[in-house]
Amino acid sequence: MLISSETLMEIHREGNTRILDCRYLLNDPGFGVASYRRAHIPGSIYLDLAEDLSSPITARTGRHPLPAVDQFAETVGRWGVADDSIVIAYDDGPGAMAARCWWLLRWFGHKSVYVLDGGLDAWVEAGGVLVDGTESYPMAKFTGRPRQNNWTDADTLMQVMDDPVRLIIDARENKRFLGLEEPIDRIAGHIPSAINRPFQHNLSGGRFKSAKILKQEFIDLIGSISPNQVIHSCGSGVTACHNLLAMEVAGLHGSRLYAGSWSEWITDPNRPVISSVSREC
């Protein structure tokens, strides 16, 4: 699930390795591609969060809807990813954008996909070279199909959010979760019964904490609730993937993503909203 810069240096020129640059800033959509063109890991192609890792927004979706199921396998093939490809996703460090890419490929059944721990910063620190310009891979045949047991939608969440054996974990920063501020979405607060673990808590020194530490922290958080009854949310289904990845790294398998997350939840005024602490970690 995670790969070190040193390991990537050993395999990055192997024929079936595909490296995906996922750098993106929500408040500066052009940042990622501009940064890629200036300097990227050799052999990597650029994927845009909005254009490549999401589908178009509608009145009833969140800010980054899942890609269209009937088109995503073809899209992945255009990236040069085949069924036997080893895929490494990276971003500028924290791993949230790369985790979104990781989750999408796992959603479509691709198992050999990894997030570069520490991202581009770690690559440079390890002595990795950078190149400019753009690159591409030959078109490939990708036959993955979506799994139905690793995500949930708003209607299902409405039915289970008060179930004591389920748990919703929100990956946004604490002030947004509490509704004290909301710089992106039109309504502040969180989904009832959700608890808060900002995705940055998975990191130490810019890299993921050890599996042992992550396991203890998430067990302290979820208590007796089974990992496969945990649902991850955030603002738009991106940073939630970071918490989901952290649980997988910790050996706590089977948690799911609420793909629409907060920005989808608030599109329906009939869905309840909490703007004060419900249960805070």
Q: Specify the pLDDT at position 148.
A: 85
Mean per-residue pLDDT for 242-263? 99
Task: Say which residues have a Cβ less than 8 Å from residue 244's Cβ, sequence separation at least 6.
Answer: 99, 103, 232, 255, 256, 257
Taking 3-state DSSP, the helix, strand and coil percentages for the chain, each rounded to the nearest 5, stand at 35, 15, 50
Percent of the chain with pLDDT over 90: 95
Q: Specify the pLDDT at position 235.
A: 98
Mean per-residue pLDDT for 157-180? 96
**pLDDT tens readout for residues 220-243:** 999 999 999 999 999 999 999 999
Q: Specify the pLDDT at position 276.
A: 66
Percent of the chain with pLDDT over 70: 98
Query: What number does CATH give the domain 151-280?
Result: 3.40.250.10
| Domain extents in the chain | 2-125, 151-280
Mean per-residue pLDDT for 59-81? 96
Cβ count near 200 (within 10 Å): 13
**pLDDT tens readout for residues 17-52:** 999 999 999 999 999 999 999 999 999 999 999 999
Quick one: which of 240, 236, 8, 239 has its CA closest to 120? 8
Q: What is the mean pLDDT of the chain?
A: 96
22 in catalytic set: no
Residue 278 pLDDT more than 60?
no
Quick one: which of 119, 144, 139 has its CA closest to 130? 119
Mean per-residue pLDDT for 184-212? 98
**pLDDT tens readout for residues 127-151:** 999 999 999 999 999 999 999 889 9
**pLDDT tens readout for residues 96-117:** 999 999 999 999 999 999 999 9
The two domains 2-125 and 151-280 share their CATH topology (first three levels equal): yes
Identified catalytic residue from 101, 234, 241, 281: 234
CATH class of 2-125: alpha beta
In the structure, what pLDDT confidence band is assigned to residue 269 with cuts at 50, 70 and 90? very high
**pLDDT tens readout for residues 206-216:** 999 999 999 99
Mean per-residue pLDDT for 48-76? 97
Residue 119 pLDDT more than 60?
yes
Task: Note the helical H segments in the chain.
Answer: 5-11, 31-38, 49-52, 69-78, 96-107, 119-125, 154-160, 174-178, 211-222, 239-249, 261-265
- Give whole-number Cα distances, 35 to 23, 49, 70, 134, 214, in Å: 8, 14, 31, 11, 31
